[in-house]
Amino acid sequence: MKGSDRGTLADALGALVFGGAVALLAGCGGGGAPTPVQADLALSTTDDAFNANRLRRLYQKLSSMAEPMRNRSVRESPPLRVQIPTAQGDEVMLFSLVRNRAGEYPHLRIARPRTGEHANFVFGGSITQGMTLRLTDDEGRTLQRDGNDLEFPLFDTRNRSRAPQDWIATGIRIAALAFLVWIGAVVVRGVAAAVGFVAFNLIVLGLLAAGLGITIPIIRWFLETSGIDWETVRRFVEQTAEAIIALLREVANRLS
């Protein structure tokens, strides 16, 4: 090999090694801070006031997700990206209203991109036996944990005396429990309570978007009996921070 060829080869190898070293340093943090997680709502494990203030400003986002679902041809809403602290670090989960095989009415679907898991929150039960909240896959099959179906008693159909806000508060408790059982011990009870707040209000707004045209008897019973409307949900979400803090703490205590 000629001397000039050897020099050219040496220069090329040197550039390759230098380039690899720069890339390695960049990958180890030399290239600047990592891109922050993008989320529409970030929850905290320790600050009830922080969570409450974030939740009470959420109505506009939730209603903007639900409104397009009035059109029966719309199959899925834009997602709400919720950042949740877990035992493995912060995780962003996707909350959407969807129509799929799990339910042809607008219902909540939560997806975990980190694990590939998802759960549809749909209604079950009957007028005679009471309303339940079921967590299913996209085909409508009820999910299980430790061999038990993820189906939770929600409303006793014999009790019609509660105020609209009481229906929502009860639903939040059950939605929080369902979420906590589904996701497991990777989140604390306070975070599960906040997720339940978002989840059930979004579930109700999805049903209101569909309206009384829903043919499923148990859902028609809920809409007709509860007296909940868009304004009720707005007032509930936009309560004072102190009222939401009290509710979150009550739900967290019940989850224990």
Confidence of residue 32 (pLDDT cuts 50, 70, 90): very low
Distance CA 168, CA 165 (A): 5
Could you tell me if 194 and 249 are in contact, meaning their C-beta atoms sit under 8 angstroms apart?
Answer: no
pLDDT at 13: 35
Q: What is the DSSP letter of 79?
A: P
CA 128 from centroid of its chain's CA atoms: 30
Confidence of residue 1 (pLDDT cuts 50, 70, 90): low
Task: Enumerate residues 6+ apart whose C-beta is below 8 A from 127.
Answer: 157, 217, 218, 221
SS3 of the chain: helix, strand, coil, percent, to 5: 50, 25, 25
Largest CA distance in the chain: 96
Could you tell me if 148 and 158 are in contact, meaning their C-beta atoms sit under 8 angstroms apart?
Answer: no
Give bridge partners of residue 76 from the DSSP assignment: 98
**For 186-204, what is the mean pLDDT?**
96
At 42, list the tokens: 């970030």
Query: What's the whole-model pTM score?
Result: 0.84
The more confidently predicted of residues 114 and 37 is 114
pLDDT at 161: 66
Burial class (CB in 10 A: 0-12, 13-18, 19+), 211: exposed
**For 63-68, what is the mean pLDDT?**
96
Q: Give me the residue spans of the domains in the chain.
A: 35-255
Confidence of residue 212 (pLDDT cuts 50, 70, 90): confident
Sign of CA dihedral 128, 131, 134, 139: positive
Residue 33 Cα distances to 27, 28, 36, 37, 42, angstroms? 10, 10, 8, 12, 20
Could you tell me if 244 and 179 are in contact, meaning their C-beta atoms sit under 8 angstroms apart?
Answer: no
**For 192-214, what is the mean pLDDT?**
94
